[in-house]
């Protein structure tokens, strides 16, 4: 299976399939270095959020890398407290300022805040039309949230970023998204590092001289899932990108799919209180 490093979103925008996620990466040197190391290792997608409170350092890391801005795909997200029409417009400007950029590649609604996400979406559509963001999407939306959004939306979300890892494979939602040409992106793709000792993943890795982390990343990629593993260690950041020289068999993929237990590490989007 030849695996392309990029994927085309519904509006034609090209997104790298593998990026660096920076949730829980500390603002300051930790975030600057992680972003810089990732870009030096060949990553071209960086995924942050206003809520991660590290947008300033992510911007610094991008500039420190020397990689031209237009070669990098930057995602950030609208925080729950900023949802609503006017506050979304304001929050977007703040993210842009903190990152020190004049456009964002992908802006996502972070969580489906009841009674607010449709107003937020209207503002996102307006920002999209203005050209200051190249694609817009959602995160943590179930099928019913998307169906509700689509009743009034002029622009169909291009991405839904959801929790996916081998113990939460989300196959029904992934199918719905694929049917609607909404790209699937995984957060906590390594199960927050909690499943890296799973004997099946370790055993599959041994066949290819790869780690369990590399096996999981490859499983996402071969399953058409955009994947953004987080690490603050240079060797792991490099290791997580070194996944384009081997291929899982259909049998490997099936064995990993079967690790699914539908167990979430984060909150259910139907039941969160922040």
Q: Which is nearer to ligand A2P, 87 or 260 (CB)?
A: 260
Q: In angstroms, how far is CA 114 from the centroid of its own chain?
A: 22
| Among 52, 107, 117, 128, the one annotated catalytic | 52
Taking CB under 6 A as the rule, does residue 230 contact ligand A2P?
Answer: yes
Q: In sequence order, what E strands does the chain have?
A: 6-8, 14-16, 20-21, 45-47, 73-78, 104-109, 133-139, 159-163, 183-187, 226-227
Quote the CA–CA distance of 40 and 139 in Å, as a whole number: 28
Task: Tell whether residue 142 is among the known ligand binding residues.
Answer: no
- Rule CB under 6 A: choose which of 67, 155, 156, 232 binds ligand A2P: 232
CB-CB contact of 256 with 204 (8 Å):
yes
Least Cα distance to 114 among 232, 5, 255, 269 occurs for 269
183 φ, ψ to 5°?
-70, 145
Q: What angle do CA 158, 193, 164 make, to 5 degrees?
A: 30
Find the binder of ligand A2P among 53, 155, 156, 193 (CB under 6 A). 193
Residue 189 in contact with ligand A2P, rule: CB under 6 A: yes
User: Phi and psi at residue 107, in whole multiples of 5°?
Assistant: -115, 130
Measured CA to CA, the distance from residue 208 to residue 161 in angstroms comes to 29
Complex with ligand A2P: residue 42 or 193, whichever CB lies closer = 193
Of 87-126, binders to ligand A2P (CB under 6 A) are none
Can residue 190 be called a binding residue for ligand A2P (CB under 6 A)?
yes
Mask for 6-45, x = binds ligand A2P (CB under 6 A): ---------------x------------------------
Name the residue nearer to ligand A2P (CB basis): 83 or 169: 169
Cβ distance to ligand A2P smaller for residue 78 or 213: 213
Any catalytic annotation for residue 52?
A: yes
Nearest approach, Cβ of 220 to ligand A2P (angstroms)?
Answer: 10
Which residue ranges are tagged as binding site for substrate? 110
* Catalytically active residues, by annotation: 52
Binding site for ligand A2P (CB under 6 A): 21, 188-193, 196, 211, 213, 229-233, 236, 239-240
């Amino acid at each position: 299976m030849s695996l392309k490093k990029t994927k085309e979103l519904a509006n034609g925008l090209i997104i790298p399939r593998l990026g660096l996620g920076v949730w829980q990466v500390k603002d300051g040197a930790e975030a600057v270095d992680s972003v810089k190391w990732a870009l030096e290792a060949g990553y071209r997608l960086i995924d942050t959020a206003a809520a991660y409170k590290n947008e300033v350092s992510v911007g610094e890391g991008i500039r420190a890398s020397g990689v031209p801005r237009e070669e990098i795909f930057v995602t950030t997200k609208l925080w729950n407290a900023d949802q609503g029409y006017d506050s979304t417009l304001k929050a977007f400007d703040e993210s842009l300022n903190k990152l020190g950029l004049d456009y964002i590649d992908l802006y996502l609604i972070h969580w489906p805040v009841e009674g607010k996400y449709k107003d937020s979406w209207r503002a996102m559509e307006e920002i999209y039309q203005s050209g200051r963001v190249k694609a817009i999407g959602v995160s943590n939306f179930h099928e019913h949230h998307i169906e509700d959004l689509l009743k009034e939306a002029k622009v169909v979300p291009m991405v839904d970023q959801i929790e996916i890892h081998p113990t939460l494979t989300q196959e029904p939602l992934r199918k719905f998204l694929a049917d609607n040409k909404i790209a699937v992106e995984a957060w906590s793709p390594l199960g927050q590092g909690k499943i890296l000792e799973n004997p099946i993943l370790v055993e599959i890795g041994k066949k290819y001289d790869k780690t369990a982390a590399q096996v999981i990343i490859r499983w996402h990629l071969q399953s058409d899932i955009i994947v953004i593993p987080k690490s603050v260690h240079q060797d792991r950041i490099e290791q997580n990108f070194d996944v384009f020289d081997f291929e899982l068999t259909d049998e490997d993929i099936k064995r990993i799919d079967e690790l699914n237990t539908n167990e979430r590490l984060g909150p259910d989007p139907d039941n969160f209180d922040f």
